[in-house]
Each structure stands twice: as structure tokens, then as C-alpha cells.
A and B are shown apart, each in its own frame.
Chain A
Amino acid sequence: MKTSRILATATIAAVSVALTGCGSKGEAGGDAGASSGTLTIGASISLTGKTAREGVLTQEGYQLCQEKVNAKGGVKVGDKMLKLDIKYQDDTSKPDTAASLVDQFNDQGIKLILGSYGSANTEAQAAVIERNNQVMVDSSGADNNIFAKGYKRTFGVLSPATEYAASIVKAVAELASPKPTSVVVLSADDGFSKRAADGAAKAAKDLGFTVLETQYFPNGATDVSASLNKVKASNPDVIIGSVHLAEGVAIIKQAKELGVVPKVFGETVAPPTPDFVTTLGKDAEGVLGSSQWTKSAAGSDDYFGTAKQYDADIQAKFKHEAGYHNAEASAACLAFVLAIQKAGSTDANKVRDALAALDAPSFFAQLKFDAVGMNSTKPMSVIQIQGGKQVTVWPKASAEAALIWPGTTK
């Protein structure tokens, strides 16, 4: 008898849950917080997991932005000043969680979202943003793929992936004398690196270089000698590595062992990483690298001032030099603030339109988005390791020193 009673109670409970719920479902009220004098922006970031380091740097950039904006009284919306309040959630460096968090923010009525770290996470988020009619400013997803899907509600402050290695080619073409003639690209096989490699090969072709066939090796490889041996015979003037730190270090080390000596090495994200110089020591000298932002970037704005001031603020608050991960995050937050003020509203659709029309200078770069939402007019900076330090050599407007050419010694 007892069991039948349990069963009956459970059934009634289940059915009543099913019935009472009908029609009550929906989204929480929009414009979260605007009425209470705060402006809430949701940020899903990678605080744990494999990109936790970069995720924390991104969060620092957002935090500094919030501090700077609130120090000026907040965000001016119409005739009200709203305190900026960025809500953080950890996406554990996983795209599925990052996408799920955007949905959860939407439940809370938070329509304005700052992007996670990395292209995979941002791409997953962008799809959800579009479905929920939210708006996102992407701070670190540079893969062109994110912007190739016809999304209308995601805006990236970065130069796209195709510019990473292409900017090095452009710098060499403009600055090197005598001008080199042949280029080869060595690339890791992940999506981002491949896209950057394609961009470099295309730029080199357009600039009249002889371009050898791109060589691929696995993402994370520590042995790239096979690729180097293949290109050794044709003795290219410029070797471009579309790589991460590990492969970037391997190229320089193993090229030396194998006697592959081009006029210069250029690598995408490895040389701007502090570990690059500490690992390679003297061998790092003369290597070119590309960076989204450097401390000598031109431009300034009312909140952060110049790039130099930005660096000083990061040093004061977080006790380390400002890196481009910090800067791009602050710039994304700044783009949001400027667009909201211009729209005079926190309504997602109006903010979206204001972002699409934004054209404002900043410590990071001009903030201006093209038809697909990329900041395609922004140049990448090219740095060279000179005397163990990163020095900006290109674009000329923000150069700290002249290019040392050739960048290698026989």
C-alpha cells in the first residue's frame, strides 16, 4: 500500500508541475539594472582551464575599464549617469560553456556582452548572441571565420587573423633595404594559424615576392626540422612562422642547428611573449613579431589617455607591464561605453546600430567596424627583438626604432 501511495503522490506532483508551468515561461525583464542607476554588462571569460592566463589578462582589461569609466561618473545615457557594472562568469576555457553563459546572461535580461578569450569561444558565443538578439563586443577572437557567417551583432576590436603574419610581410616590404625577394610561410595546423598563414602568403604575392609553398606541422610541435629541411635548398630571404610560442622557439633553434639562415625570421604571436627572449637568449635577436597593440601605439581617448598612460595604469593596478591582451579587452569595453553614450540608450538594438556607426580614436587604435563587424582598418604593430627588448618598428607612425636589417647574422 505504501508504495502505491508514494507513486500516486509523485504522479500528482509531476503533473501539477507540468500544468502550473504552462504559459509562465519567458525571458526576464530587459534593460537589466538601467533603472537602478547601474549598467550591467555580462562577461564570460576563461578564468580556469587552458587559456586561464590570457583569460585573467582579459579580465584585468575589463576591470581597468570599469574603474576608469566609473571614475568619470559612469556611462552617460540620455541625462542619467549609470555606474558600469561588469558581471563575470568563468567559462572554463570551453566554447560550449561560453555559449551557455551567454544564454544565462540573457535569462537575467543582460543583453550587452563582452567576449570571452580566444576565437573558438567567441565563435560559439556569436551564434547565441545572434539568436537572442543580444550584442557582443569581441575582445580577442580574431579568426575571420567568426565574421564570415553573416552575423550582425558581434563586433571585434582586433585586427583579423589574416593580418597577423601579413603585417610582418608588409613591414619587411616597406622597410627592408635592399628589399628581399622570396618568402616562405611555416605554419601550425590549427584554424587560426592556417588563416594567418594564408593571409601572409596572399600579402607576399600581392607585394611581388616569390612565395614558396607553405609548410605545415602539427599545432604544438617541438620538432619542425622536416619543414626547415624542405625550404633550406631554396634559401628564402624571409621565413615567416604562423605559430604559437612552442613552435616559434623550435623554428629559431632548429634553423640555427640546420644552418638555415634567411635575411630575417618573422613569427606571429611568439616574439611578443616575454618567454620568447628568455628561452632563446641571443638567438632571439632580430626576430620580427606581430602584435595587436604595443605601448607606442598612436591615438588616445578621454578614459585611458595614450598607450603609454595605459601601460602606467596597468602597472600601477596589476604590477606588470600592459600586454595586448589587457589592451584589447579595455578597448572592447570602451567601444561599448562609447556606443551606449552615442545611442543614448541601453537598448540592444540601438547599441548595435551605434556600434556599427562608431568611428572613435582610442589608446588602442581607431575603433571602427566594417560591414561584417571587423576592425579591418586597424593596423597590426610589428616588433623586432633588439638588445633583448621588444621594439616597435612598424607602422612608421608608432615606430620606436629603425628596423635592423638583415635581422640575422651568418
Chain B
Amino acid sequence: MATVTPALWRRWGPWALGLVGALAALGLQTQLYTGQVRTVATIFMFVALALSWNLIGGYTGYASFGQVVFFGLGGYFAAVTMTHLHWSFWVALPLAGLAAAAYAVVIGIPLLRLRGHYFAIATLGVAEGTREVVINLDGLTGGGGGITVPTVGAAAATKYLGNDGFYLVYLALAVLALLITGLVSRSKFGFAMRAIHQDEDAAAAVGINTTRTKVLTFALSGLLTGLVGATYAFQQVTIYPERLFDVEITVLMVVMVVIGGSGTVLGPIIGAVALQFLSEWLRQNYTTVHTLLLGIIIIIAVILLPQGLVNYLREARRNGDYSLLANVRRYRL
């Protein structure tokens, strides 16, 4: 076996691990019952969502609390075009992503001038407003009564993919999000994003086109979220504005990224897998108190590891101090 030098490992190791992970996911599929396939597919869905939020919220430091707007928009784009124009899912999917990205550019240009809480609140407002528009475009979206994507008979341009099909699509989207995050985090563009996070004025002073970087990141993040939303719409068959623009979906993305470690490649993946797995396990075993338990666990996790698991491990290794109490003290909680 050829020697792997540290430099070679740093360059290619993470990619190899990613590849192994994806292969393992394919292998895992063959081991599961069909209902479990659906549950794991949902985990991949959240991995993709958390990774896409991490681009704008983690790397760039713009906490988008209206991220679900791209999910809903992607979903409705796919549902409406598949229902009224009888598009194939495979045509609707990429275009739904692009539509969400275009929307991100349109709202991003004004909104990304705001910072901190103001940006968070403004995006939240856009998401709520967009939902109202979708509800009121009755003829197109079915309004509050929802819209049903044709999956059987002559009206169905694409046959329903089934649990196995959606597992593969969500896995592919999670891998795509991982690839984009991996590429971005190592590129000049990624350094620009981090610079904006740390000090936007200083970043501008050293010649980074901050507006362009922010809008592009937002669009990229919107694209990925829109793709996931489109897949979700087809998977659910009947969709309602309430669920597609549910602020809880945004909150989950944020919590997953925060718990895993924001601004890292691995963090959102760990956060999404851990949280989804935990919530599913609690729900199955503690039917009546599972939300309470999940809430308590999240609170404890955030208090003990305010910087997220990946960042905590990184710092602990550097300092040689794995004490959680010391960590809490360091973050002055």
C-alpha cells in the first residue's frame, strides 16, 4: 500500500471519507425495511437542508430565519408545474432549484444589506409573506386546500419513485450539498465568506466584493434548499402551504447546524443525523413525552457545547482540555 503523507491525506482524505460514507449509505439501503428506508431518507433530507443553511448561516454568518421560503418555493414550483403543465419530475426538479436561487438573488440584494437580528427578522417576514401569496394564488396552488401532484394514470408524467427512489434522490442531494460545501470551504470564495463572517467591513477593506459574495452564497443555499423542497413535494404527493412554509423546518436546520458546529463541513451532517435519529428514537419509545425530552436534550447540548460538537472537539484537541465545564466557562455561560 502506498504511503499516505499527511499532506496527501489533508488534500484527499475528506473526499475519500465522503465517498465511503455515500457507499455505506447505499449499502445501508439494502439492509432496511421499506418504512425504515423512508425514515433514513428523511435524515438525508435534513442533512442536505442543514448543509445548505450552513453556507449562509454558518460560513457567512447571516442567520437566515426564513430559509424555509426556498423549500416551499421549490416544492410549489415542482408541484404546480407537474400538475398543471405535466412536467416530468426530472425537469421540474432542477428548475425548481433554479427558481429558488433566483428568488434568493431577488430578495438577497435588498435583505443582505441588513445585519444580525435585522436580517433574521426580515427573512422570517419574507417567508411568512410568501406563504400568504401562495395561499392566495388559489387557481395555481390550490390555496389552503393544498395541491396534489398526479402520481398515477395518464396525468402522471413521472411514476411515483417509492421509498427506495426517494432515498436515492435525497442521498444524491445530501452528497451534492456536501460536495458544494467541501469545494466552497477550500476555495477563495469560502475564505471570502469566512472573512465576511468575522468582520464584514474589514473584508470589504481588503478588496472582497462582499455584496457579490453574500448574494451568491444566498443563491447557492437557496438552490440546494429548493431542490430538497421539490423532492419533498413529490414525495408527499399532496402539499399544503402550512407545512411547506413551516417555520419549524427553518428552526430545525438552524438547531442542527448549531449543535453539530456551524461553519464546518462535518458539523451540519453530525447535527442533522444526531437530531433526526434522536427525535425518531424518542418518538417511537416515549410516545407522550418525546418532544419534552428532545427539548431538554437540545437545551443541555447548547449549554454544554455552545460552539457545536465539531468546533468543541477541534478546540479541545488544540488545548488538550476536553472538560465540558471548562468549555462552558470559556463561553461565559
Q: Which of B9, B17, B144, B148 contacts A190, CB < 8 Å?
A: B144
20 contacts between A and B (CB under 8 A): A1-B4, A3-B4, A4-B1, A4-B3, A4-B4, A17-B28, A17-B31, A18-B23, A18-B24, A21-B28, A21-B29, A25-B30, A92-B283, A95-B238, A99-B236, A127-B237, A132-B34, A149-B148, A191-B145, A194-B143
Question: Closest residue to A56 on the B side, CB-wise?
Answer: B288
Pairs of residues from A and B, 9 with the lowest C-beta to C-beta distance, nearest first: A191-B145, A18-B27, A21-B30, A103-B35, A107-B33, A17-B27, A107-B35, A190-B144, A14-B24
Contacts of A3 in B (CB 8 A): 4, 6, 9, 13
In the complex, B243 has a CB within 8 A of chain A: yes
A104 — which chain B residues lie within 8 A by C-beta?
A: 35-36, 38-39, 284
Q: Report if B240 contacts A (CB, 8 A).
A: yes
Q: Is the interface of A mostly helix, strand, loop or mixed?
A: helix
When the two chains form their complex, are residues A92 and B13 in contact, meaning their CB atoms are under 8 A apart?
no
Binds B, one of A5-13, A222-230, A332-340, A343-351: A5-13
Residue contact A15 to B163, C-beta cutoff 8 Å: no
Known contacts being A10-B20, A127-B237, A191-B145, is A15 close to B288, with CB within 8 Å?
A: no
Chain A residue at smallest Cβ distance from B145: A191
Q: Does B287 contact A47, Cβ atoms closer than 8 Å?
A: yes
Complex interface: chain A residues within 8 A of B144 (CB):
189-191, 194, 219
11 further interface pairs, Cβ-Cβ under 8 Å (given A14-B27, A124-B236): A4-B1, A7-B16, A14-B24, A17-B24, A25-B32, A99-B236, A100-B38, A103-B35, A107-B35, A191-B142, A218-B135
A89 at the binding interface (Cβ < 8 Å): yes
Q: Please tell me if the beta carbons of A105 and B35 are within 8 angstroms of each other in the complex.
A: yes
> Chain B residues in contact with chain A, CB under 8 A?
1-4, 6, 9, 13, 16-17, 20-21, 23-24, 26-36, 38-39, 42, 135, 142-146, 148, 151-152, 160, 162-163, 232, 236-238, 240, 243, 283-284, 287-288, 290-291
A28 interface contact, C-beta 8 A:
yes
Query: Which B residues are in CB contact (< 8 Å) with A123?
Result: 238
User: Within the assembled complex, what's the spacing in Å between the Cα atoms of A191 and B243?
Assistant: 14
Q: Which residues in A have their C-beta under 8 angstroms from that of B35?
A: 100, 103-107
Count, chain A residues at interface, CB 8 A: 54
Find out whether the CB atom of B143 lies under 8 angstroms from the CB atom of A189. yes
Measured CB to CB, the nearest residue on chain A to B286 is A90
Closest CB-CB distance, A220 to chain B, in whole Å?
Answer: 10
Instruction: Please determine whether B33 and A28 come into contact, CB atoms closer than 8 angstroms.
Output: yes
Q: Is the CB of A90 within 8 A of B288?
A: yes
Interface positions, chain A 114-141, Cβ under 8 Å from B, are 120, 123-124, 127, 131-132
Q: Per a CB cutoff under 8 Å, which of A14, A19, A192 touches B20?
A: A14
Closest residue of A by beta carbon distance from B284? A89
